[in-house]
Amino acid sequence: MNNITRNSDGKPPRAGFHLDKANAKVFGVCSGIADYFGIDTMLVRIGFVAATLLGIGAPILIYIAIALIAD
């Protein structure tokens, strides 16, 4: 049997975190996080929006920092 874990798009995950620019809406941060943890990209995007609305802007700074530091 094939025991390789697959992402939501059916591809095996890459080692380490990376921006997923192929599935990106802005910089690819949310799709990269979803790829790294093997969860649905839409859940990560909803989480970032909810955190931004509830967190008074701090997630926006974290998002930008990840976009600048990663890949």
- Tell me how far apart the alpha carbons of residues 29 and 67 are, in angstroms, rounded to a whole number: 6
pLDDT class of 1 with cuts at 50, 70, 90: very low
The three-state (H, E, C) secondary structure of 18-71, written as one string: CCCHHHCCCCCHHHHHHHHHCCCHHHHHHHHHHHHHHHCCHHHHHHHHHHHHCC
The predicted-structure confidence for 4-40, as pLDDT tens digits, reads as follows: 555 556 666 556 777 777 777 888 888 888 888 888 9
Give the model's confidence band at 2: pLDDT under 50 very low, under 70 low, under 90 confident, else very high.
low
Quote the tokens at residue 33.
């996080």
Q: Domain ranges in the chain?
A: 30-69
pLDDT of res. 46: 94
Answer yes or no: is pLDDT of 71 > 70: no
> Coil, helix or strand for 22?
helix
